[in-house]
Amino acid sequence: MQAGAKLQVIEADITTLDVDAIVNAANQQLAPGGGVCGAIHSAAGLELAQECATLGDCATGEARITRGYKLAAPWVIHAVGPVWGGGETGEDRLLYKCYDSSLKLAEEHRLTSIAFPAISTGIYGFPAPRAAHIAVAAVLDYVRSVEEMGSDTPLERIIFCCFGAESVQLHQAALVEHGYSHAL
Protein backbone atom coordinates (compact mmCIF):
# COMPACT_ATOMS: atom_id res chain seq x y z
CA MET A 1 0.00 0.00 0.00
CA GLN A 2 1.33 3.43 -0.80
CA ALA A 3 2.81 5.63 1.91
CA GLY A 4 0.09 7.62 3.58
CA ALA A 5 -2.58 4.99 2.95
CA LYS A 6 -5.35 5.22 5.53
CA LEU A 7 -7.81 2.96 7.25
CA GLN A 8 -10.92 4.70 8.50
CA VAL A 9 -13.86 3.72 10.66
CA ILE A 10 -16.93 5.87 10.05
CA GLU A 11 -20.64 5.83 10.72
CA ALA A 12 -22.44 6.65 7.48
CA ASP A 13 -24.84 5.53 4.78
CA ILE A 14 -22.57 3.49 2.51
CA THR A 15 -24.68 4.34 -0.54
CA THR A 16 -23.65 8.00 -0.30
CA LEU A 17 -19.88 7.58 0.01
CA ASP A 18 -17.56 9.21 -2.50
CA VAL A 19 -15.17 6.28 -2.98
CA ASP A 20 -14.14 4.21 -5.99
CA ALA A 21 -16.09 1.17 -4.76
CA ILE A 22 -18.52 0.24 -2.06
CA VAL A 23 -18.87 -3.36 -1.00
CA ASN A 24 -22.30 -4.93 -1.07
CA ALA A 25 -23.09 -7.62 1.51
CA ALA A 26 -24.54 -9.76 -1.26
CA ASN A 27 -26.42 -13.03 -1.46
CA GLN A 28 -25.22 -15.89 -3.67
CA GLN A 29 -27.62 -14.93 -6.47
CA LEU A 30 -26.36 -11.30 -6.41
CA ALA A 31 -30.03 -10.34 -6.32
CA PRO A 32 -31.57 -7.40 -4.47
CA GLY A 33 -32.14 -8.37 -0.85
CA GLY A 34 -32.65 -6.78 2.52
CA GLY A 35 -30.40 -4.67 4.72
CA VAL A 36 -27.29 -3.17 3.11
CA CYS A 37 -27.88 -5.16 -0.06
CA GLY A 38 -31.39 -3.77 -0.49
CA ALA A 39 -30.24 -0.22 0.22
CA ILE A 40 -27.44 -0.45 -2.34
CA HIS A 41 -29.69 -1.91 -5.02
CA SER A 42 -32.38 0.69 -4.32
CA ALA A 43 -29.93 3.60 -4.51
CA ALA A 44 -28.16 2.26 -7.62
CA GLY A 45 -31.31 1.66 -9.62
CA LEU A 46 -32.64 -1.23 -11.66
CA GLU A 47 -29.55 -1.39 -13.87
CA LEU A 48 -27.52 -2.82 -10.99
CA ALA A 49 -29.83 -5.82 -10.61
CA GLN A 50 -29.85 -6.29 -14.39
CA GLU A 51 -26.04 -6.40 -14.53
CA CYS A 52 -25.87 -8.71 -11.51
CA ALA A 53 -28.27 -11.11 -13.25
CA THR A 54 -25.74 -11.52 -16.09
CA LEU A 55 -23.00 -12.69 -13.69
CA GLY A 56 -24.57 -15.87 -12.40
CA ASP A 57 -24.19 -17.07 -8.83
CA CYS A 58 -21.30 -16.15 -6.55
CA ALA A 59 -19.99 -18.60 -3.95
CA THR A 60 -19.79 -17.68 -0.29
CA GLY A 61 -16.46 -16.00 0.38
CA GLU A 62 -16.10 -14.79 -3.20
CA ALA A 63 -16.71 -11.38 -4.76
CA ARG A 64 -17.78 -9.89 -8.12
CA ILE A 65 -17.63 -6.32 -9.42
CA THR A 66 -20.23 -4.26 -11.28
CA ARG A 67 -20.76 -0.65 -12.17
CA GLY A 68 -22.33 1.59 -9.52
CA TYR A 69 -24.93 3.23 -11.75
CA LYS A 70 -26.75 5.92 -9.69
CA LEU A 71 -24.47 5.56 -6.66
CA ALA A 72 -21.76 8.09 -5.81
CA ALA A 73 -19.26 5.20 -6.13
CA PRO A 74 -18.62 4.16 -9.73
CA TRP A 75 -18.16 0.50 -8.72
CA VAL A 76 -19.86 -2.02 -6.46
CA ILE A 77 -18.01 -5.09 -5.24
CA HIS A 78 -20.51 -7.79 -4.28
CA ALA A 79 -19.08 -10.00 -1.52
CA VAL A 80 -21.04 -13.01 -0.33
CA GLY A 81 -20.65 -13.51 3.39
CA PRO A 82 -21.53 -16.63 5.34
CA VAL A 83 -24.77 -17.21 7.19
CA TRP A 84 -23.95 -17.74 10.87
CA GLY A 85 -24.52 -21.34 11.86
CA GLY A 86 -22.85 -21.37 15.26
CA GLY A 87 -19.25 -21.06 14.12
CA GLU A 88 -18.63 -24.72 13.40
CA THR A 89 -18.95 -24.71 9.60
CA GLY A 90 -16.07 -22.47 8.52
CA GLU A 91 -17.90 -19.17 8.86
CA ASP A 92 -14.81 -17.30 10.12
CA ARG A 93 -12.70 -18.43 7.16
CA LEU A 94 -15.43 -17.56 4.67
CA LEU A 95 -15.96 -14.11 6.14
CA TYR A 96 -12.21 -13.43 6.03
CA LYS A 97 -12.17 -14.58 2.42
CA CYS A 98 -14.96 -12.08 1.53
CA TYR A 99 -12.82 -9.16 2.60
CA ASP A 100 -9.68 -10.56 0.96
CA SER A 101 -11.48 -11.29 -2.33
CA SER A 102 -12.92 -7.76 -2.35
CA LEU A 103 -9.52 -6.14 -1.78
CA LYS A 104 -7.94 -8.21 -4.54
CA LEU A 105 -10.72 -7.18 -6.96
CA ALA A 106 -10.19 -3.54 -6.00
CA GLU A 107 -6.47 -3.88 -6.62
CA GLU A 108 -7.03 -5.67 -9.93
CA HIS A 109 -9.27 -2.82 -11.10
CA ARG A 110 -6.75 -0.20 -9.91
CA LEU A 111 -9.20 1.37 -7.45
CA THR A 112 -7.86 3.86 -4.90
CA SER A 113 -10.61 3.67 -2.27
CA ILE A 114 -13.05 1.08 -0.99
CA ALA A 115 -15.72 1.04 1.74
CA PHE A 116 -16.89 -2.09 3.53
CA PRO A 117 -20.10 -2.58 5.50
CA ALA A 118 -20.09 -5.05 8.41
CA ILE A 119 -20.61 -8.08 6.14
CA SER A 120 -22.85 -10.90 7.43
CA THR A 121 -23.80 -9.10 10.68
CA GLY A 122 -27.36 -8.25 9.64
CA ILE A 123 -29.85 -10.86 8.52
CA TYR A 124 -27.05 -13.45 8.19
CA GLY A 125 -26.66 -13.32 11.98
CA PHE A 126 -22.86 -13.29 12.32
CA PRO A 127 -21.97 -12.00 15.81
CA ALA A 128 -20.87 -8.38 15.33
CA PRO A 129 -17.83 -8.41 17.68
CA ARG A 130 -16.44 -11.53 16.06
CA ALA A 131 -17.14 -10.18 12.55
CA ALA A 132 -15.38 -6.88 13.33
CA HIS A 133 -12.24 -8.76 14.40
CA ILE A 134 -12.27 -10.90 11.27
CA ALA A 135 -12.84 -7.88 9.01
CA VAL A 136 -10.00 -5.96 10.61
CA ALA A 137 -7.68 -8.99 10.52
CA ALA A 138 -8.36 -9.56 6.82
CA VAL A 139 -7.78 -5.91 5.90
CA LEU A 140 -4.64 -5.58 8.03
CA ASP A 141 -3.24 -8.87 6.67
CA TYR A 142 -3.77 -7.53 3.16
CA VAL A 143 -2.17 -4.16 3.99
CA ARG A 144 0.79 -5.76 5.72
CA SER A 145 1.38 -8.31 2.96
CA VAL A 146 1.40 -5.55 0.35
CA GLU A 147 3.85 -3.52 2.44
CA GLU A 148 6.11 -6.51 3.13
CA MET A 149 6.21 -7.58 -0.51
CA GLY A 150 6.67 -4.03 -1.73
CA SER A 151 3.80 -4.65 -4.12
CA ASP A 152 2.28 -1.88 -6.17
CA THR A 153 -1.34 -1.36 -5.22
CA PRO A 154 -3.32 1.78 -5.89
CA LEU A 155 -5.43 1.43 -2.73
CA GLU A 156 -4.95 4.56 -0.63
CA ARG A 157 -8.05 4.44 1.58
CA ILE A 158 -9.97 1.53 3.10
CA ILE A 159 -13.10 2.39 5.05
CA PHE A 160 -15.10 0.36 7.52
CA CYS A 161 -18.51 2.00 7.03
CA CYS A 162 -20.56 1.21 10.10
CA PHE A 163 -24.27 1.34 10.75
CA GLY A 164 -24.48 2.65 14.30
CA ALA A 165 -22.13 3.72 17.06
CA GLU A 166 -21.76 0.20 18.46
CA SER A 167 -20.33 -1.06 15.17
CA VAL A 168 -17.94 1.91 15.06
CA GLN A 169 -16.69 1.04 18.55
CA LEU A 170 -16.28 -2.64 17.67
CA HIS A 171 -14.20 -1.86 14.58
CA GLN A 172 -12.08 0.75 16.35
CA ALA A 173 -11.40 -1.65 19.21
CA ALA A 174 -10.52 -4.44 16.78
CA LEU A 175 -8.04 -2.17 15.00
CA VAL A 176 -6.32 -1.31 18.28
CA GLU A 177 -6.29 -4.96 19.39
CA HIS A 178 -4.69 -5.92 16.08
CA GLY A 179 -1.97 -3.31 16.59
CA TYR A 180 -3.23 -0.57 14.29
CA SER A 181 -3.84 2.78 15.96
CA HIS A 182 -3.77 5.16 12.98
CA ALA A 183 -7.42 4.86 11.92
CA LEU A 184 -9.44 8.05 11.86
pTM of the model: 0.94
Integer distance in angstroms from the first to the last C-alpha of the chain?
17
The helix (run of H) or strand (run of E) holding residue 166 is helix 165-177
pLDDT recorded at residue 3: 42
pLDDT tens digits, one per residue of 122-133:
999 999 999 999
Enumerate domains of the chain plus CATH numbers.
6-177 (3.40.220.10)
**For the chain, which ranges sit under pLDDT 70?**
1-5, 181-184
Number of H helices, E strands in the chain: 5, 6
pLDDT recorded at residue 23: 98
Name the 3-class secondary structure at 21: strand
Instruction: Choose among 1, 54, 8: nearest CA to 29.
Output: 54
Under 8 Å CB-to-CB from 171, ≥6 apart: which residues? 9, 118, 132, 135, 136, 160, 162
Q: Are 23 and 116 in contact (CB under 8 A)?
A: yes
